[in-house]
Amino acid sequence: MKIIVRDVPPRSVWALEKAGIHPLLAQLYAARGVLEPSELDAALVHLLPPTAMKGTAEAARLLADAIHQDKKLCIVADYDCDGATACAVAVRGLRLLGAKHVDYIVPDRVQDGYGLTPPISQRVKASGADVLITVDNGIASFDGVATARALGLQVLVTDHHLCASINGAVALPDADVIVNPNQPGCSFASKSIAGVGVMFYVLLALRAELRARGAFASRPDATATVADASPAVAKKPEPKLDTLLPLVALGTVADVVRLDANNRRLVAQGLKRVRALTLPAGLAALFVASSRDTATATTFDFGFALGPRINAAGRLSDMTLGIECLLTDDPNRALELAKTLDNINRERREIEGNMREQALLVAESLFEDTAEAPAAICVFDPDFHEGVVGIVASRIKDKLHRPAFVFAPSGATGHGHELKGSGRSIPGFHLRDALDLVAKRHPGVLLRFGGHAMAAGCTIAEAHFETFEQGLAQVAQEWLSAATLLRRLDTDGPLKPEYRRVDLVDALHHEVWGQGFAAPTFSEELEVVSQRLVGEKHLSLKLKHRGEPVDGIWFGRTEPLPARVKLAFRLDADSWRGERKVRFLVEAAELL
């Protein structure tokens, strides 16, 4: 492990401090590329406009016409947290904007596979729908879209995934309208927006279209009723869509998209409403089920408490449970569903733990006779559960610092026994592009694939596993350098002793951190005064920081540390007998 200190542009620090930002926060923001104080203004007025996203105007007209004509709308969701929140935002938002008939269908991970398939389109048609709307999927669903159109359905695709490539050219499905910031010709600056964010932007555009058509009362606080004499004042007040922001924030964080300035604003606004208790009943219930406090909600809660409980439904059961939890306004029903999701998540953790141990044994056996792990790692076991292959791949990637794919059986088909795989990558290795190159070099091996730079999925025939494994390893050997394969941790350097305060810890926790905008991690040489194991798997530490004692803990570490060592650590506030003290959460060590 190499601990690196981030560069901090002095000019940026000076500009931020001059604007009244605390010196520690100014240093942290500048190190993450913030140049001007305006980038930190989370006000909704600073969000990128919906008009900048290609397709939103056309989508707004299609949906406004459908609402006016009283058409039936059906959302086709995805079975992860981004897809579930996007579905809930779509259903809630469309109903707020006047749609009377809105339903949804979520594919089953095992039975249906990913995305809008022809059978799903047929189910939508059979439900009586007139308009099919995808959320967080659809950009590569050529057959599903074609089937839906052939059945007479209007199709609106909202997605954020990268477009498919056919014979080296970008290909799009033949939908009526496509909204995706990553499609050709879209100038929307936030290319990393999540699927739930794309749907939220479609709703913003739809509200603007309805406003232009005179669908709302002139004053937001209008109280006119249908009983009023004049038809003009019988219009409903313009609905506020900010009630959807807690769901947008949850999906954005849980999908681990890069938190650029626009995404940070969406998350900040969502957290603001959660802390003020203006959140859907289902989210409130999930906070209760996960023993988290809404008043001090953080991105950590979204990413490591609520998100996994929603995801568990799609991995092991039926994502309908997760979506219904996000849609219900009945607190009792919400708590019942949240407890069910919590139980499913416990089951998921048990399955994942067993799979992780087995997968790591297989992965480590690949380099028993060598010091270095291979450039890319592929693991398959016939007893693996396809619902948790992505999580296990992430664990292998974290432990071995290599791109990793984990495969599980997916039943017998015309291709023989298929395997479904999920991969996670390291910086410097674009996983979806790697799959695309493997597909070109080994035609027919990849039956389906898609994803992002850091996460991707694919389906292969079991007979082709070794070919895929060798093909991915070859691409990794070509693309990854020794420097890239060296595990490194970027940190914010030494912590000044005057910043070792509980109030500053609370201030840091209040900010928006996440993918591409990492939570503060400090690093410096520390003296290890004493150490002991707690819970048989965590290292409790007594440290000296700048000559003063401070407690520390390293979760998941059992090996002892030397008396003096360079540590990377995050700040936490630990409560003991009514007193709160700063504690160091150790992330890594570099021997001196």
Render pLDDT for 261-288 as a digit per residue (tens, 0 to 9): 999 999 999 999 999 999 999 999 999 9
Strands 455-461 and 416-424 come out as: antiparallel
Q: What distance in Å separates the CA atoms of residue 120 and residue 132, rounded to the nearest whole number?
A: 10
Q: Does the CA dihedral 542-545-548-553 come out positive or negative?
A: negative
215, burial (CB in 10 Å: exposed 0-12, middle 13-18, buried 19+): middle
- The model's pTM is 0.92
State the pairing for strand pair 169-171/164-166.
antiparallel
User: To which H or E segment does residue 5 belong?
Assistant: strand 2-5
Residues 6+ apart with CB under 8 A from 192: 160, 257, 258, 259, 260, 263, 516
Closest CA to 22 of 517, 499, 422: 499
Q: Is 95 helix (H, G, I), strand (E, B) or coil?
A: helix
Residue 271 vs residues 69, 191, 229, 509: alpha-carbon distances, Å: 36, 22, 42, 12
Residue spans of the domains in the chain: they are 46-251, 366-485, 490-590
Q: Are 565 and 531 in contact (CB under 8 A)?
A: no
Q: Is 48 left (phi over 0), alpha (psi -120 to 50) or beta?
A: beta
CATH domain 46-251 topology: inorganic pyrophosphatase (n-terminal core) (3.90.1640)
Q: Report the C-alpha dihedral over residues 155, 157, 158, 163, rounded to 10 degrees.
A: 180
Low-confidence ranges of the chain (pLDDT < 70): 219-234, 369-370, 411-416
pLDDT at 227: 36
Give the alpha-carbon dihedral of 296, 299, 303, 307, to 10 degrees.
60
What's phi and psi for 278, nearest 5 deg?
-100, 75
Q: Same topology for domains 366-485 and 490-590, yes or no?
A: no
Euclidean distance between CA atoms 187 and 490, whole angstroms: 31
Angle, vertex CA 551, rays to CA 548 and CA 556, nearest 5? 145
What residues contact residue 339 under an 8 Å CB cut-off, 6+ apart? 289
For domain 490-590, the CATH class is mainly beta
What order do you get walking across the sheet with 102-105 strand by strand?
102-105, 73-76, 131-135, 154-158, 177-179
What 3-state DSSP class applies to 475? Answer: helix
Closest CA to 410 of 435, 447, 360: 447
Q: Judge whether 153 and 131 are in contact, CB under 8 Å.
A: yes
Q: Which residue shows structure tokens 């749609």?
A: 99
CA distance 571 to 25: 14
Q: What is the pLDDT of residue 369?
A: 64
Confirm or reject CATH 3.40.350.10 for domain 366-485, answering yes or no.
no
Closest CA to 493 of 8, 71, 60, 1: 8
- Say what the pLDDT of residue 415 is: 55
The Cβ of residue 228 has, within 10 Å, a number of other Cβ atoms equal to 11
Contact 376, 402 (CB under 8 A): yes
For residue 267, the surrounding DSSP H or E stretch is helix 261-275
**Neighbouring-strand partners of residue 589:** 567
Q: For 544, how many CA atoms within 13 A lie in the half-sphere containing its CB?
A: 9
Q: In what order do the strands lie in the sheet with 377-380?
A: 377-380, 404-413, 416-424, 455-461, 446-451
Identify whether the C-beta of residue 138 lies closer than 8 Å to the C-beta of residue 76: yes
